[in-house]
C-alpha cells in the first residue's frame, strides 16, 4: 500500500536520490582533481628521513585540503634504492630524496659532494646548498634530470661500523675489509679511498649481510645505524666522519610544472618543514647515540682523523672524478662559512 500522500513521498525520495547523486559526483570530481603524489624511499620507518614525509603529508593535507593524494612508500617497497630518478622521468613517481651520488651519475658537477672530507659539518652543508652554489647546481639538476630540488636535508655524518672489533687508526688498517657500499661506482670509490675493499649491496640487504658475514662492515650515520638496527649485528663503530652526507627532497618536473604558484609555494613550505624536522632530530640523535651504542656493548673508537682526511682527499684529487669538478668550485665550497 502507498502511504497517504504519495506525491510528497516521491518528491522526497527524488530529492534524496538527487542529493546522493550530487554527493557521489562531487566525491568522484574530488578524486579526479586530487593529484597523485607518490613518494618512494629506501628509508626504514624509524629513521628521521622516513618520518619527515609524514610531516610533509600533514602539512600538504592541511594547507591544500583535497588537492593531493600523498602516498608514502618506505623500505624501497615501491622502487629500489637509486631507481627513483628513472621512475620520476617515466611518470611513475612524483617525489623522493635523491643522494648526491645518484645525481652525480647524470650531473657530473655534483661528484664533488661524493668525495670524503669536503663538507666540514651540517652548518657548512646547509650554507653551501642554501646559497648560490646550491642555486646554480639545482638548475643543472632540473635541466638534466627533470627534477626540481625543494630542500636539501642533512642525512648525517657517515661513520664506519664493523662486524668485528679491530684496531683502525689509518686507512691502511682497513686493507682487505669488505666494506659494504651502495651499488654505484661513485660509492665504491669512496670505500676504496677509505682503504677498504668496497662491496656493493642494497641498503635493504645490509643487516643480513652483516649477520651472515658476507660483508665485514658498512658505513652510515649513527641515527641510521640505530634505526636500521645495524648495531645488533656489529661490534665496533669507528668515528671516521668521512662524509657529511646530504639528501635532496626532489619533485618531478612533470608534476612541478603543472602546479599553480600557490601549490608550488605550499609544496616548498612542506618540504622545508620536513627538512627542519629531519635535521633537528638527526643532529640531536648524533650527539646522544655514542653512549647508547656503548651501552649496547659496541666499542666506539676514534681513528687518526688527519691520516684519513689526507689519504681520502689525495685519492680524490688524483682521481678522474676531480677532473669533472667545475673550476673553482672546491675553493668556493671551502670559502663558504
The residues that touch ligand KDO, with contacts defined as CB under 6 A, are 41-43, 47, 81, 99, 182, 203, 220, 224
HEC string of 92-158?
Answer: CCCEEEEEHHHHHCCCHHHHHHHCCCCCCCHHHHHHHHCCHHHHHHHHHHHHHHCEEEEEEEEEEEE
Nearer to ligand KDO, 224 or 236 (CB): 224
Grid coordinates of 237: 663503530
Least CB distance to ligand KDO at residue 219 (A)? 7
Grid coordinates of 95: 617525489
**In DSSP terms, which residues pair with 219 in a beta bridge?**
160
Least CB distance to ligand KDO at residue 74 (A)? 10
Contact 290, 223 (CB under 8 A): no
Least CB distance to ligand KDO at residue 220 (A)? 5
Contact 277, 55 (CB under 8 A): yes
Least CB distance to ligand KDO at residue 42 (A)? 4
Nearer to ligand KDO, 67 or 117 (CB): 117
**DSSP tag of 213:** T
Measured in residues, the chain has a length of 337
Nearer to ligand KDO, 43 or 72 (CB): 43
Q: Cβ-closest residue to ligand KDO?
A: 99
Nearer to ligand KDO, 247 or 312 (CB): 247
Least CB distance to ligand KDO at residue 33 (A)? 32
Contact 139, 273 (CB under 8 A): no
Nearer to ligand KDO, 67 or 224 (CB): 224
Amino acid at each position: 500500500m502507498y502511504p497517504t500522500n504519495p506525491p510528497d513521498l516521491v518528491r522526497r525520495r527524488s530529492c534524496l536520490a538527487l542529493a546522493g547523486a550530487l554527493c557521489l559526483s562531487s566525491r568522484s570530481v574530488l578524486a579526479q582533481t586530487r593529484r597523485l603524489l607518490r613518494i618512494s624511499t629506501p628509508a626504514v620507518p624509524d629513521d628521521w628521513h622516513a618520518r619527515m614525509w609524514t610531516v610533509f603529508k600533514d602539512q600538504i593535507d592541511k594547507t591544500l585540503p583535497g588537492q593531493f593524494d600523498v602516498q608514502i612508500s618506505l623500505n624501497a617497497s615501491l622502487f629500489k634504492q637509486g631507481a627513483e630518478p628513472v621512475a620520476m622521468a617515466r611518470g611513475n613517481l612524483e617525489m623522493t630524496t635523491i643522494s648526491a651520488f645518484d645525481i652525480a651519475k647524470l650531473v657530473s658537477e655534483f661528484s664533488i659532494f661524493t668525495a670524503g672530507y669536503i663538507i666540514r659539518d651540517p652548518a657548512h652543508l646547509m650554507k653551501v646548498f642554501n646559497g648560490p652554489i646550491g642555486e646554480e647546481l639545482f638548475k643543472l639538476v632540473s635541466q638534466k634530470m627533470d627534477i626540481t630540488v625543494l630542500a636539501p636535508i642533512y642525512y648525517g655524518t657517515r661513520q664506519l661500523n664493523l662486524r668485528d672489533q679491530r684496531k683502525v687508526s689509518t686507512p691502511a688498517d682497513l686493507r682487505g675489509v669488505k666494506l659494504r657500499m651502495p651499488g654505484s661506482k661513485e660509492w665504491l670509490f669512496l670505500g676504496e679511498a677509505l682503504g677498504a675493499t668496497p662491496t656493493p649491496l642494497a641498503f635493504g640487504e645490509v643487516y643480513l649481510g652483516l649477520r651472515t658475514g658476507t660483508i665485514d662492515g658498512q658505513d652510515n650515520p649513527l641515527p641510521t645505524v640505530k634505526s636500521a638496527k645495524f648495531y645488533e649485528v656489529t661490534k665496533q663503530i669507528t668515528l671516521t666522519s668521512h662524509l657529511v652526507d646530504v639528501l635532496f627532497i626532489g619533485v618531478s618536473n612533470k608534476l612541478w610544472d603543472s602546479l599553480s604558484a600557490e601549490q608550488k609555494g605550499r609544496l616548498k613550505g612542506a618540504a622545508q618543514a620536513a627538512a627542519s624536522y629531519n635535521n633537528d632530530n638527526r643532529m640531536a640523535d648524533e650527539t646522544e647515540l655514542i653512549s647508547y651504542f656503548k651501552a649496547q656493548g659496541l666499542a666506539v673508537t676514534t681513528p687518526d682523523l688527519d691520516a684519513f682526511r689526507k689519504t681520502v682527499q689525495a685519492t680524490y684529487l688524483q682521481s678522474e672524478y676531480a677532473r669533472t669538478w667545475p673550476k673553482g668550485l672546491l675553493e668556493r665550497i671551502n670559502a663558504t662559512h
